[in-house]
Structure 1
Amino acid sequence: MLPVITATRSAELWDCGVTDEGCAALASALRPNPSHLRKMHLSGNKLGDSGVKMISAVLENPHCKLEDLGFSNCGVTDEGCAALASALRSNPSHLRQLNLSGNNLGDSAVKMISAVLENPHCKLEKLQ
Structure 2
Amino acid sequence: MITTVHAGVLPEKSVEKRPKTGQKPIAFFKRKPSDLWPFNRLYRCSITEKQCLILTSALKSNPSHLRELNLSWNQIKNTGLNHLCDVLKDSRCKLERLSLCVCGITDVSSLTQSLTNTKALQFLKEIDLRGNMIGDSKQKLIDVLRDSNCELSL
Q: Report if TM-score (shorter chain) is over 0.5.
A: yes
- Identity within the alignment, %: 32
- Could you tell me the TM-score, scaled by structure 2's length? 0.71
CA contact (8 A) 1:40 1:69 kept: yes
Q: Please state how far the C-alpha of 1:126 moved relative to its aligned partner.
A: 4.5
Gaps of 5+ in 1: none
1:110 aligns with 2:138: yes
Q: Which amino acid aligns with 1:123?
A: N
- In the alignment of these two chains, the number of paired residues is 123
Gaps of 5+ in 2: 1-27
1:125 aligns with 2:154: no
Q: Please state how far the C-alpha of 1:117 moved relative to its aligned partner.
A: 1.4
Q: Which amino acid aligns with 1:61?
A: D
Q: Distance in 1 between matches of 2:131 and 2:124?
A: 20
1:59 paired residue among 74, 85, 88: 88
Structure (1 or 2) with the larger CA radius of gyration? 2
- 1:1-128 equivalence runs, <5 A: 1-2=28-29, 5-6=33-34, 8=37, 11-78=40-107, 81-90=108-117, 91=119, 92-106=121-135, 108-119=136-147, 122-128=148-154
CA contact (8 A) 2:52 2:83 kept: yes
